[in-house]
């Protein structure tokens, strides 16, 4: 089982400078290798491969001593990355697509450098040691498990912040019998999620605040003249707030998925890929993407916790009555499901969550609902 653990890095001023130089050098190496492949193909019709370019690496490192400061394998990885770009390009050509030829990378498109762990990058004195850079302070906000084998570390820069992403291999978990009950989850509009056993989770206040801030900043940006100094400033603010929202959303998705897999043995979600558009079109909320993230996080956490995840067709889950199966039409503003046929009065999202659970548990045809099991179901 492979996992990624991401940590914020705090390089000092000198290290920041060195990191910038390393990224520049690696980028130049990438672009030069791309140029070589291009020229060889255009001028002589020759295809240059990774092995050809890797053979020259020793010489290049002799000619450019700055490059030799860094580990050999890290420079190899740069060439491999180019090779991957070409492989993807040729694969798409073969499939009859018309992909763009691999492009030269500008600074803004070259933002990560991978290292084989233990080869040019490692952990020393509780810091990230990178050959040619030094020992960089890391905020270890969660420990890397003791039984983990670190395979790779990717140094990243985004929004002027530095990060290290450790790719670790963990032993596969033993299969355990989960003692908890089953639950259906409605991915909500007003509340974040509703569960079939009657819980609703609201979007935290700080989340809504950031959303409002983003809308304000977007309006401000659109009022300004494109390309102007003030416009650029507004763009920077919007980018920053986007990043903040993404962070908050990821945090929240981690928290909710953790609770779900520890409490429930069977978790049923709506399959957003089926018919899910009807719902998400109504909500231009930035939570849309968060739903997919929540499902993804729950899926991989379920593996360890021994929970099972099932996805069902979301068709009519909010309109059907979970008590008797009647279709009770209601607009989005109606928050309570009130069934004229059986008299059930219940929160609309909880009603939907119960329908979602039923769809996974009940045999097809019941209550006039479309048979969905086991269509679209998969087990983590
Ligand atoms: Zn009813």
Residue range 344-361, pLDDT digits in tens: 999 999 999 999 999 888
pLDDT of 274: 52
Please tell me the least confidently modeled range out of 56-60, 72-76, 165-169, 288-292. 288-292
Rounded to whole angstroms, how far apart are CA atoms 134 and 114?
16
Residue 368 main-chain phi, psi, to 5 deg: 75, 10
Q: Note whether residue 265 is domain-resident.
A: yes
Ligand 1 centre to CA of 377 (Å) is 27
The alpha helices in the chain, defined as continuous H runs, are 13-44, 50-55, 57-63, 72-94, 205-223, 229-263, 277-282, 287-305, 348-361
Please tell me the least confidently modeled range out of 149-153, 211-215, 294-298, 365-369. 365-369
Confidence band for 149, pLDDT divided at 50, 70 and 90? very high
Ligand 1 centre to CA of 373 (Å) is 22
List the one residue out of 180, 122, 188, 129 whose CA is nearest residue 151. 122
**301 plus 234 within the same structural domain:** yes
Residue position matching structure tokens 């009130």: 338
List the one residue out of 111, 155, 150 whose CA is nearest residue 133. 155
Ligand 1 centre to CA of 318 (Å) is 12
Please tell me the least confidently modeled range out of 211-215, 320-324, 376-380. 376-380
Confidence band for 135, pLDDT divided at 50, 70 and 90? very high
Taking residues 244-270, report their average pLDDT. 91
Confidence band for 289, pLDDT divided at 50, 70 and 90? low
Ligand 1 centre to CA of 288 (Å) is 29
Ligand 1 centre to CA of 266 (Å) is 25
pLDDT digit string, tens, across residues 39-49: 998 888 888 89
Which of 172-176, 257-261, 276-280, 371-375 has the highest mean predicted lDDT (pLDDT)?
A: 257-261
Ligand 1 centre to CA of 320 (Å) is 8
Confidence band for 100, pLDDT divided at 50, 70 and 90? confident
Q: 3-class SS at 296? A: helix
**147 plus 203 within the same structural domain:** no
**148 plus 191 within the same structural domain:** no
Q: Which domain holds residue 298?
A: 182-368
Q: Note whether residue 380 is domain-resident.
A: no
> For the chain, how many structural domains are there in total?
2
Q: Is 74 exposed, middle or buried (0-12, 13-18, 19+ CB in 10 A)?
A: buried
Model-wide pTM > 0.75: no
- Percentage above 90 pLDDT, the chain: 51
pLDDT of 189: 66
Ligand 1 centre to CA of 34 (Å) is 65
**342 plus 296 within the same structural domain:** yes
**129 plus 10 within the same structural domain:** yes
List the one residue out of 294, 311, 302 whose CA is nearest residue 357. 311
Taking residues 13-17, report their average pLDDT. 96
User: Where a domain ends, among 145, 169, 193?
Assistant: 169
Which of 91-100, 226-235, 329-338, 369-378 has the highest mean predicted lDDT (pLDDT)?
A: 226-235
Q: Note whether residue 119 is domain-resident.
A: yes
**231 plus 138 within the same structural domain:** no
**186 plus 234 within the same structural domain:** yes
Q: 3-class SS at 19? A: helix
For residue 320, how many other CB atoms are within 10 A of its CB? 25
Ligand 1 centre to CA of 361 (Å) is 19
Confidence band for 377, pLDDT divided at 50, 70 and 90? very low
pLDDT of 256: 93
Ligand 1 centre to CA of 317 (Å) is 13
Taking residues 290-305, report their average pLDDT. 86
Q: Note whether residue 177 is domain-resident.
A: no
Q: Note whether residue 176 is domain-resident.
A: no
Confidence band for 190, pLDDT divided at 50, 70 and 90? low
Q: Note whether residue 199 is domain-resident.
A: yes
Taking residues 206-225, report their average pLDDT. 90
Ligand 1 centre to CA of 335 (Å) is 16
Rounded to whole angstroms, how far apart are CA atoms 301 and 357?
20
More confident residue, 379 or 229: 229
Residue 162 main-chain phi, psi, to 5 deg: -105, 145
Q: Note whether residue 277 is domain-resident.
A: yes
**204 plus 162 within the same structural domain:** no
Residues in Cβ contact with 20 at an 8 Å cutoff, skipping those fewer than 6 apart: none
Rounded to whole angstroms, how far apart are CA atoms 276 and 232?
36
**241 plus 117 within the same structural domain:** no
More confident residue, 22 or 188: 22
Residues in Cβ contact with 85 at an 8 Å cutoff, skipping those fewer than 6 apart: 102
**106 plus 55 within the same structural domain:** yes
Ligand 1 centre to CA of 374 (Å) is 25
pLDDT of 287: 52
DSSP string, 77-106: HHHHHHHHHHHHHHHHHHTT--PPPPPPPP
**106 plus 216 within the same structural domain:** no
Ligand 1 centre to CA of 323 (Å) is 5
379: pLDDT strictly greater than 50: no
User: Where a domain ends, among 143, 169, 195?
Assistant: 169
* Widest CA span in the chain: 83
Q: Note whether residue 175 is domain-resident.
A: no
**69 plus 92 within the same structural domain:** yes
Ligand 1 centre to CA of 337 (Å) is 9
Q: Measure Cα distances from 148 to 5, 144, 167, 379 in Å.
A: 11, 7, 10, 25
pLDDT of 331: 86
CA 227 to chain centroid? 31
Ligand 1 centre to CA of 58 (Å) is 75
Q: What is the mean pLDDT of the chain?
A: 86
User: Where a domain ends, among 117, 141, 169?
Assistant: 169
pLDDT of 368: 41
- Percentage above 70 pLDDT, the chain: 89
Ligand 1 centre to CA of 366 (Å) is 13
Ligand 1 centre to CA of 327 (Å) is 8
């Amino acid at each position: 089982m492979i996992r990624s653990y991401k940590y914020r890095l705090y390089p000092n001023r000198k290290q920041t400078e060195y990191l910038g130089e390393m990224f520049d050098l690696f980028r130049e190496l990438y672009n030069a290798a791309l140029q070589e492949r291009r020229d060889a193909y255009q001028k002589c019709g020759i295809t240059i491969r990774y092995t050809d370019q890797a053979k020259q690496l020793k010489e290049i490192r002799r000619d450019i001593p700055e490059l030799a400061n860094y580990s050999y394998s890290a420079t190899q990885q740069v060439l491999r990355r180019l090779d991957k770009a070409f492989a993807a390009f040729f694969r798409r050509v073969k499939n009859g697509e018309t992909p763009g030829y691999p492009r030269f990378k500008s600074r803004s498109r070259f933002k990560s450098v991978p290292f084989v762990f233990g080869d040019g990058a490692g952990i020393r004195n509780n810091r990230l040691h990178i050959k040619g850079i030094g020992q960089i302070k890391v905020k270890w906000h969660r420990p890397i498990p003791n039984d983990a084998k670190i395979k790779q570390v990717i140094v990243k820069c985004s929004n002027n912040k530095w990060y290290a992403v450790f790719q670790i291999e963990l032993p596969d978990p033993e299969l355990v019998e989960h003692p908890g009950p089953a639950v259906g989850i409605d991915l909500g509009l007003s509340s974040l999620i509703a569960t079939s056993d009657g819980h609703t989770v609201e979007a935290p206040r700080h989340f809504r605040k950031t959303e409002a801030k983003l809308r304000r900043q977007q309006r401000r940006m659109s009022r300004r003249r494109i390309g102007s100094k003030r416009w650029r400033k507004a763009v920077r603010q919007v980018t920053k707030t986007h990043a903040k929202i993404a962070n908050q959303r990821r945090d929240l998705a981690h928290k909710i998925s953790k609770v779900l897999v520890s409490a429930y043995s069977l978790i049923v979600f709506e399959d957003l890929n089926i018919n899910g558009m009807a719902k998400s079109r109504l909500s231009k909320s930035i939570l849309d993407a968060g739903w997919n993230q929540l499902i993804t996080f729950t899926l991989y956490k379920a593996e360890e916790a021994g929970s099972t995840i099932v996805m069902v067709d979301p068709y009519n889950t909010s309109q059907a009555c979970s008590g008797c199966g009647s279709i009770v039409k209601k607009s989005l503003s109606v928050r309570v499901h009130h069934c004229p046929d059986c008299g059930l009065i219940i929160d609309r999202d909880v009603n939907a969550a119960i329908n979602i659970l039923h769809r996974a548990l009940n045999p097809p045809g019941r209550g006039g609902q479309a048979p969905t099991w086991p269509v679209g179901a998969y087990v983590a």
